[in-house]
Chains A and B, each alone.
Chain A
Amino acid sequence: MLDVSRVQKELVEIDRDKRISGVSITLHGDDISHLSGTISGPIETPYEGGTFQIDIQLPASYPFEPPKMQFLTKVWHPNISSQNGAICLDILKDQWSPALTLKTALLSLQALLSSPAPDDPQDAVVAQQYNQDYPTFVSTARYWTETFAKRSSLGIEEKVQKLVEMGFPESQVRTALETCGGDENLALEKLC
């Protein structure tokens, strides 16, 4: 069974210094095995200014087996699938250690954004561009950050639609999103 006590301790710890660390985790509901992580794009990278959502699934044997993490926010990066957000990172696979935490994992993702490893790619197309045409890579990555990872950006209509589909009145959804700076999770919390 999932070590709930440890996960709760981890969540408290993450919450305590989320401002400094730039990573945070929110609960999806009652199910503690399904979490949602957020990392801010590291400065001086094409991801700067972006906020990236990460879906986190904890296997029953967590922390003895690694958490399953996947980018929900679309991102242009050699080690992250541009199609489905799947991540290629050793500590989420065979290099996982039970001594690692969700926080260290998210920080590692942040580090991965700063220093891609194009020789061990998840997305071959991106990796090829990274290796062969770095300037184009940077501008594509930046464009994707602008388009998909900025709170008050174009994505707002999609967020509205998503929340409306969940059964909330459109006017309330818009107000909630506005007061939360476009963060759909915070907005959802407000609406519930």
Chain B
Amino acid sequence: MADFETSDDDYYGDDSLDGLDQEEDDLLWTPQRTPSSASKVITRASLLAAQREDLKRVTEMLTLKEHHARTLLIHHRWDVERLLAVLVEKGRDRLFTEAGIPILDAAHQASARSTSSIMCNICMEDISPNDVTTMDCGHCFCNDCWTEHFIIKIKEGESRRVRCMAHKCNAICDEAIIRNLVSVKDPEVAERFERFLLESYIEDNGKVKWCPSVPHCGNAIRIDGDSYCEVECTCGLQFCFRCSSEAHSPCSCLMWELWIKKCKDESETVNWLTVHTKPCPKCHKPVEKNGGCNLVTCLCGQYFCWLCGGATGRDHTWTGIAGHSCGRYKSDHNKVAERAKRDLNRYMHYHNRYKAHMDSMKRENKLRETVQATIATSESKDDGFRDYSWVTNGLNRLFRSRRVLSYSYPFAFYMFGDDLFKDDMTEEERQLKQNLFEDQQQQLEVTVERLSKFIEEKFDKLPEDKVKEIRMHIINLTVLVDTCCKNMYECIENDLLGLLQSTTHSIAPYTSKGIERASELSVCPDSDQILNSSKANDDDAHDPSWVSSAPGTDSEPRSEGQVSCASLDDNGCSSRKRAREETLGSLLFDLNLPAEVA
């Protein structure tokens, strides 16, 4: 990295200056250039359309009714590929029965209709044939009983898999029948049913997650590849797709979770106090030990033994206090103290650096405004001829790498500490790897600081040739920082995490362009119907009922009166689901019914 200033490793394309070549278009910091990213934002308006895309694929491929396609997709967590694999492997009948779709036999229904009145096995009443419904599985009960059953199941949060009432019948009830019967008796529950079905696309889908923004932006993100990735929602929030917390690579999700906990935990300070102070036996204030001997004096004048905390007189030698014998070994005590102190110091070391870079990032955030203002004035002065994208690119690179640098400290804390991988490496290996990593980290650190220094220059106040020089530095350093980041990630992935024996630990990969911004889901043209129906909802896209469905409201205490939510946990629903359900209350959104029913 020594000769970076003369390196032609530059991506800046404008050859009017210095004749620098455009080498790696890849490095350009222009997220807006990306035509359409692999990850998609699913807004309230496009949710129906997104779901319909998959439904359509399955209904067409298997030629079946939409509600059966939905049952299949919910059963297979909206993974069309997996569904098709099961179809190939086990055949159509198995695919259907396992998901609870009866293999149709219309003869049942015909025979049931012919009798004059039918005994409903649930309420045990004779019912007119007009007031009973036969499900696809052939089981027939009265409409009142069906309705009651549906409402209870929906309230229990089982909308996605409402089974037939007959004992041991595994069939999933026809959603159109549920919709029709329930809306007559309880329109609110019917709407909830609709919402559950719709949100199943998010809740039961491994490739889709709610954006964790608070207050909630209303979006969900669908990714197209590995779930170890970081995405940016159109609301601007960048997050780890895997754990939904802030983007934290190169830390793994586990490391990040542990780190957050550790930072919050006061235990470190408590630890320090217990190691370094002892309460006075008389006034109970913490007293710090100074000097080597084990006799300590409190401000109140009380003498006591540091080892056992017992009150003593003041006469003492190096090894004992007159008239006091507590039988503690000085060495033992010191060992524990030493270890605690070492652990604490280690944590402080990493935390200080982590924090320092976080603070720098905040400072540089303010710098961004200043720099942008400078660019604006400079551009006007220079008749708009000069291009200042090198500053913006440099700034963006600075932010990106600051983050990486900051998170690389908690990474190192766990990578080379005892918490996670103690048994994965010998002490020598660990030392070796740590050196390897710290080399990369230091290189990055030095380069980032240099970049930061140049960006802080008041280039608008400087003469032309000086600006040219700064420009070259910034351009070179921008590339170099990116390379350093790349190298550090490579080191982490290949030499550190990749070589672990007992566990697999994955991180979101490094991307030069920064965290990918998810693009709006484009709705396929042949689903006009849906488009129209969801457009009707566009106006209230900021409807507080939808916004308040923020996952971030998790922490809300669960209201007791809500029977409907009580069993959600048992059904494997996330707490998010519950939170949303509570906050939404009766302000459910006014979804248009799918075309076939409307």
Contact = CB atoms under 8 A, between A and B. Distances in A.
Contact of A100 (B123, B125, B152, B167): B167
A95 B169 CA distance: 10
B165 A61 contact: no
A99 B123 contact: no
B122 interface: yes
A64 B149 contact: yes
B168 interface: yes
Contacts of A167: none
B122 A99 contact: yes
A3 interface: yes
A5 B144 CA distance: 14
Contacts of A65: 152
Contact of B167 (A3, A6, A64, A99): A99
A104 to B, nearest CB: 8
B60 to A, nearest CB: 34
A9 interface: yes
Contacts of A99: 121-122, 141, 165-167
Contacts of B169: 97
A97 B166 contact: yes
Chain B: interface size category: 10 to 19
Given A64-B148, A97-B167, A99-B165, A9 B121 contact: no
B168 A97 contact: yes
A5 B121 CA distance: 13
B168 A98 contact: no
Given A64-B148, A64-B152, A97 B165 contact: yes
B124 A98 contact: no
A63 B167 CA distance: 12
Q: Is the interface of B mostly helix, strand, loop or mixed?
A: loop
B127 to A, nearest CB: 13
A6 B123 contact: yes
B145 interface: yes
Interface string A73-104: 00000000000000000010001011110000
B81 to A, nearest CB: 30
B525 to A, nearest CB: 44
Identify which of B121, B124, B149, B169 gathers the most chain A CB atoms within 10 Å of its CB.
Answer: B124
A97 B165 CA distance: 6
B123 A5 contact: yes
Interface in A1-46: 3, 5-6, 9-10
A106 to B, nearest CB: 15
Contacts of B141: 99
Nearest to A7: B124
Interface residues of A, number: 15
Nearest to B139: A99
A107 B2 CA distance: 85
Given A5-B123, A98-B122, A61 B167 contact: no
A9 B167 contact: no
Contacts of A3: 123
Interface in B105-160: 121-125, 141, 145, 148-149, 152
A9 B165 CA distance: 19
A5 B149 CA distance: 17
Contacts of A10: 124
B121 A6 contact: no
Contact of B152 (A6, A61, A91): A61
A124 B216 CA distance: 46
Interface in A45-63: 61, 63
A58 to B, nearest CB: 14
Interface in B15-39: none
A95 B148 CA distance: 17
Contacts of A6: 122-124
Nearest to A97: B167
Contacts of B166: 97, 99
A184 to B, nearest CB: 31
A63 B123 CA distance: 8
Contacts of A61: 148, 152
A6 B122 CA distance: 8
A96 to B, nearest CB: 9
A54 B368 CA distance: 74
Nearest to A64: B152
A100 B485 CA distance: 65
Interface string B343-378: 000000000000000000000000000000000000
B519 to A, nearest CB: 42
A10 B123 CA distance: 10
Nearest to A61: B152
A98 B148 CA distance: 10
A6 B125 CA distance: 8
Identify which of B141, B165, B169 gathers the most chain A CB atoms within 10 Å of its CB.
Answer: B165
Interface string B403-415: 0000000000000
Contacts of B167: 91, 97, 99-100
Interface in A171-188: none
Nearest to B156: A65
Nearest to A96: B167
B161 to A, nearest CB: 11
Nearest to A94: B570
A100 B169 CA distance: 12
Given A97-B165, A99-B166, A9 B148 contact: no
Contact of A9 (B124, B145, B168): B124
Contacts of A91: 167
Nearest to B145: A98
Contacts of B165: 97-99
A72 B496 CA distance: 61
Contacts of A9: 124
Interface in B401-459: none
Nearest to A10: B124
A97 B122 CA distance: 9
B504 to A, nearest CB: 32
A154 B168 CA distance: 42
B31 to A, nearest CB: 48
A19 B123 CA distance: 25
A109 B344 CA distance: 60
A63 B144 CA distance: 13
A95 B152 CA distance: 15
Contacts of A63: 122
6 contacts: A5-B123, A95-B168, A97-B165, A98-B165, A99-B121, A99-B141
Interface of B: 121-125, 141, 145, 148-149, 152, 165-169
Closest 3 CB pairs of A and B: A97-B167, A98-B122, A98-B165
Given A3-B123, A6-B122, A98-B122, 6 more contacts: A61-B148, A64-B148, A91-B167, A97-B167, A99-B122, A99-B166
